[in-house]
Amino acid sequence: MAGETTIIQGGTFINLALIIMLTPIFSSFILMFIRYLEIKKNKEIHGVPVYSALLGIGSLLVSFLFSVAMAIMYFTGEYGSDSEHLTTIVADADMIVGTNFKFGLMIDPLSVLMTLLLGVIAFLIHLYAYEYMDHGEPEVTRFYAFLNFFTGSMFGFILSGNLFMSFIWWEMLGVSSYFLIGYYWKKDSARRAGTKAFLYNKVGDVAFMVAIFLILILHENTERTLDYHLLAELSIPAKELLLPGILLFGAAIGKSSQFPLFGWLPEAMEGPTPVSALLHSSTMVKAGLYLMIRNFAVLYDIHNFHATLPVVDPMAAATFVLFIGTVTAFMGASMATVSTDFKRILAFSTISQLGYIAMAIGAGGKTAAFYHLISHATFKSLLFLCAGSVIHGSGLTDIRTMGGLYRKMKYTMAATFFGLFGLSGFPFISSGFFSKDAVLLAVEKSSVPYAEVYYIVGVFTAFLTAFYSTRLFIEVFFGKTKDGMDKKFDTKNSNPHESGKYILTALISLSVLVILESLMWAISTYGGITFLLTEEWLAEMLGVHGHAFEWSGAFTSFGVVTLGYLLGLYLYQWNPSARDLLKKPLGWMGTIAENRFGIDILINWISMGIVVKYISPAFAAVDEKVIDEYLINTVISQQIGLGSAELADTIDQDYIDGAVNATWRSTRYIGRVFRKLQTGLTGNYAQYMAVGLVLLLALVTVLNEFGLANLY
């Protein structure tokens, strides 16, 4: 455990943090204004206008440099947080006087590291987008505006110092995600995807709000607070924290796409690839898990971490988290195995890896979780950028149509190799190996009941991860046709070319980062030295020690990962025709995975049911037939054709349509009802006033009986 922690108010770090946070947001507003000017002047713009690129990338450069500076100053300067002495820097300002709702910033090792990570990745992606978005889109200013806004909100979220501020930034993240997913708003599917993402996240937001209020009212006898640095010090019995813990994780379920609310993430691939790389692989989806790591004290009483817990009950929140995480990891990996769109595979893989991080949190391995968070962010964003490079260079998205690309896109291939190297956890040396191993170790040694079951599922998922990584790599860059010939790329229909310098810069930088991480962690683990950014060091910073590296776990990983590689190579490179043989016995599993285990269908059916039940009485006078026909047709056809992916799409349409129709129809109906109240007769108005007065007085009198409102 680290030594003492001091808390400082204000200072240079706060100014740094504010610069980091607010520069992208200001530049996003300026860009929006520029976009307004562009529209007014009705200019035809092709490619990326220089001014918006300068502003967009420039602001991120500023944030990146300042975040690096902040990290250096924080870890080596006089405030030096080292293993002896942790410093937390906070700043507060009242938003609503007299309540707990304040602006708040908190700078501690967790936020500094995350800011650094975000700074690097976001800057590289903004650079990447300069070349990626140049296919004649006239609205790239808008793109940079939204992307900057998102990055600024993410910085704000990371640096926020209390739950209320986190919630505000969280909402802004959700909004930017909606805008960015639906960026190509002219496409129907993109709009729907954006709405779907927003609505799924909204469910999590409700849980978040309830959790905040519960935490607020928890402290009956002590000072009510939402500040992180104060919350961690309060000793609240674990039974009271059960519901807030579960609800906070509910927020993570929505935003970090855990089971059962992961359906939005594959659809979110409708957005441009830089968006997928930045939001939906490395930063925004990590927001929920970051929140859980921040509020780790809600799940585990840190001070008694290693004490035996005599009662199972207080562990229920952690068990819940572990369970959901494991299910998500498994589902994500299995869905990735049967998917055929490049970005979709990566999306499902993200879901799976997020599940891993959640598993670590539930099992009590805060360090392992953050470790895996960092490494996953790096290689997943790298992988998405590679996907973008392939798509940009060849114009294809389905991996079955790719193959043999290694001749034309060597750099991209190398970068993808390093990305998958991390993702699959290449035994013994890759960053993914160390972090995933740490996660699995935490799960195995966890004090949650039945942890061994979860461990086994996690190991199996690692096998699947290695398998689909190999599959992806081979299908895209190599591949053999069914008769055993090497796939050569068909240059008649499209001309794949290697990408330009901006994209390559981003790819190479991130690959270098992955390699660096792997090297550093390898040296630290095998050499036993602890230095900056290694697991031991992280443990000191975060205050929770993981378990030391164990060779038995390493060999298990080595075993399953190699098995995955071999199986992938066998089925896709050495003996492709073997796939047909497997279709019969294992085809049903594939179908289940393709339909996302029916979760999306279930959610759509529940929502449609609730929507119809809620507004059906109101519709009695208006347009009932149309809605009935919609609903009856889809429900019946749903029961007949459950196994068809086409059907899932239709239901998707109806859900969105139904929801939108519900909103305007119910609004109109309510309008009609209330318009009847405006009679123009003063007697009626006097009546209304009198009724209001009576009700108010009655309410106060009744409440006074219960002691909730004082009459005197």
Partner 1 sequence: MVSYGILLAVLGILLVFPQIMRLFDNTLIHIVLYFVFSGILVYLMGTDATILAPLMLITTYFAVMAVIETRVMRAAIFLLLAMVTLGFSYIFLNSEILTALHISVYGGGIAILVLFAAVLIEENSSIVDERTQINGYIITFALAMIMISLVFRGIPKSNATTSIINIDDGFTLIRDYSYFLWTTYTHVIPFLALLILGALIGAVRLALTDKEVIHEEKEVAI
Partner 2 sequence: MIDIIWFILFSTALFVTGLLGVITQTNGIRILISVEFMLNAANINFIAFNSYLGLVDFSGWSMALFVIAIAAAEAAIGLAIFISVYRSFGDITLGSIFSLGEATEVE
Q: Point out which residues bind partner 1 (CB under 8 A).
A: 683-684, 687, 690-691, 693-694, 697-698, 701, 704, 711-712
Contact call for residue 680 and partner 2 (CB under 8 A): yes
Cα–Cα distance for residue pair 95/309, rounded to 1 Å: 40
Contact call for residue 681 and partner 2 (CB under 8 A): yes
Using the minimum distance from each CB to partner 1, give the nearer residue, 77 or 692: 692
> What is the DSSP track for 107-136?
ESHHHHHHHHHHHHHHHHHHHHHHHHT-SS
Using the minimum distance from each CB to partner 1, give the nearer residue, 548 or 697: 697
Least separation in angstroms between residue 678's CB and partner 2 is 4
Cα separations (Å) of 233 from 158, 229, 298, 302, 523? 20, 7, 11, 10, 35
Least separation in angstroms between residue 677's CB and partner 2 is 8
Using the minimum distance from each CB to partner 1, give the nearer residue, 93 or 711: 711
* Residue 672 contact among partner 2, partner 1, none, beta carbon within 5 to 8 Å by kind: partner 2
Beta strands in 143-206 (DSSP E): none
Touching partner 2, residues 529-588 (CB under 8 A): none
What single-letter amino acid sits at 381?
S
Backbone angles phi, psi at 628, to 5 degrees: -60, -45
Using the minimum distance from each CB to partner 2, give the nearer residue, 663 or 679: 679
Pick the binder of partner 2 from 675, 705, 708, 712 (CB under 8 A): 675
State both tokens at 81: 């947080």
* Residue 712 contact among partner 2, partner 1, none, beta carbon within 5 to 8 Å by kind: partner 1
* Residue 551 contact among partner 2, partner 1, none, beta carbon within 5 to 8 Å by kind: none
Using the minimum distance from each CB to partner 2, give the nearer residue, 581 or 670: 670
Q: What angle do CA 34, 38, 43 make, to 5 degrees?
A: 155
Pick the binder of partner 2 from 493, 494, 577, 679 (CB under 8 A): 679
* Residue 639 contact among partner 1, partner 2, none, beta carbon within 5 to 8 Å by kind: none
**Burial status of residue 712 (CB atoms within 10 A of its CB: 0-12, 13-18, 19 or more):** exposed
State both tokens at 559: 């075993």
**Burial status of residue 388 (CB atoms within 10 A of its CB: 0-12, 13-18, 19 or more):** buried
Cα–Cα distance for residue pair 373/359, rounded to 1 Å: 12
* Residue 676 contact among partner 1, partner 2, none, beta carbon within 5 to 8 Å by kind: partner 2
Contact call for residue 676 and partner 2 (CB under 8 A): yes
Say how far residue 702 (Cα) sits from the centre of its chain.
Answer: 46
Contact call for residue 667 and partner 2 (CB under 8 A): no
- Which window, 321-329, 519-527, 657-665, 672-680, contacts partner 2 (CB under 8 A)? 672-680
Least separation in angstroms between residue 621's CB and partner 1 is 23
- Which window, 339-347, 384-392, 653-661, 686-694, contacts partner 2 (CB under 8 A)? 686-694
Residues in binding contact with partner 2, number by CB under 8 A: 12
Least separation in angstroms between residue 694's CB and partner 1 is 5
Cα–Cα distance for residue pair 414/473, rounded to 1 Å: 10
Contact call for residue 682 and partner 2 (CB under 8 A): yes
Task: Identify how many contiguous H helices and E strands the chain contains and give both numbers.
Answer: 26, 3
* Residue 586 contact among partner 1, partner 2, none, beta carbon within 5 to 8 Å by kind: none
Using the minimum distance from each CB to partner 2, give the nearer residue, 585 or 671: 671
CB hemisphere CA count around 409 (13 angstroms)? 32
Pick the binder of partner 2 from 584, 683, 710, 711 (CB under 8 A): 683
* Residue 97 contact among partner 1, partner 2, none, beta carbon within 5 to 8 Å by kind: none
Using the minimum distance from each CB to partner 1, give the nearer residue, 548 or 686: 686
Using the minimum distance from each CB to partner 1, give the nearer residue, 98 or 683: 683
Backbone angles phi, psi at 480, to 5 degrees: -125, 140
Residue with tokens 């938003």: 95
Contact call for residue 671 and partner 2 (CB under 8 A): no
* Residue 682 contact among partner 2, partner 1, none, beta carbon within 5 to 8 Å by kind: partner 2
* Residue 678 contact among partner 1, partner 2, none, beta carbon within 5 to 8 Å by kind: partner 2
3-state SS class at 102:
strand
> What residues does 88 pair with on adjacent strands?
7
Cα–Cα distance for residue pair 349/332, rounded to 1 Å: 6
Cα separations (Å) of 180 from 140, 150, 197, 202? 12, 9, 11, 16
DSSP 621: G
Using the minimum distance from each CB to partner 1, give the nearer residue, 585 or 680: 680
Q: Residue 460's closest CA among 595, 563, 362, 364?
A: 563
* Residue 697 contact among partner 1, partner 2, none, beta carbon within 5 to 8 Å by kind: partner 1
Cα–Cα distance for residue pair 263/277, rounded to 1 Å: 18
* Residue 698 contact among partner 1, partner 2, none, beta carbon within 5 to 8 Å by kind: partner 1
Using the minimum distance from each CB to partner 2, give the nearer residue, 548 or 690: 690
What single-letter amino acid sits at 23?
T
Cα–Cα distance for residue pair 140/149, rounded to 1 Å: 14
Using the minimum distance from each CB to partner 1, give the nearer residue, 626 or 691: 691
- Which window, 148-156, 298-306, 375-383, 679-687, contacts partner 2 (CB under 8 A)? 679-687
Pick the binder of partner 2 from 575, 577, 667, 687 (CB under 8 A): 687
Strand order of the β-sheet with 5-9 is 5-9, 86-94, 102-107
Using the minimum distance from each CB to partner 2, give the nearer residue, 552 or 682: 682
Q: Residue 455's closest CA among 553, 311, 589?
A: 553
Torsion angle of C-alpha atoms 336, 337, 342, 348, degrees rounded to 10: 0
DSSP 448: S
Least separation in angstroms between residue 711's CB and partner 2 is 14
* Residue 675 contact among partner 2, partner 1, none, beta carbon within 5 to 8 Å by kind: partner 2
Using the minimum distance from each CB to partner 2, give the nearer residue, 9 or 678: 678
Three-state SS for 380-440 is HHHHHHHHHHHHHHHCCCECCCCCCHHHCCHHHHHHHHHHHHHHHCCCCCCHHHHHHHHHH
Using the minimum distance from each CB to partner 2, give the nearer residue, 97 or 681: 681
Contact call for residue 690 and partner 2 (CB under 8 A): yes
Binding site for partner 2 (CB under 8 A): 672, 675-676, 678-683, 686-687, 690
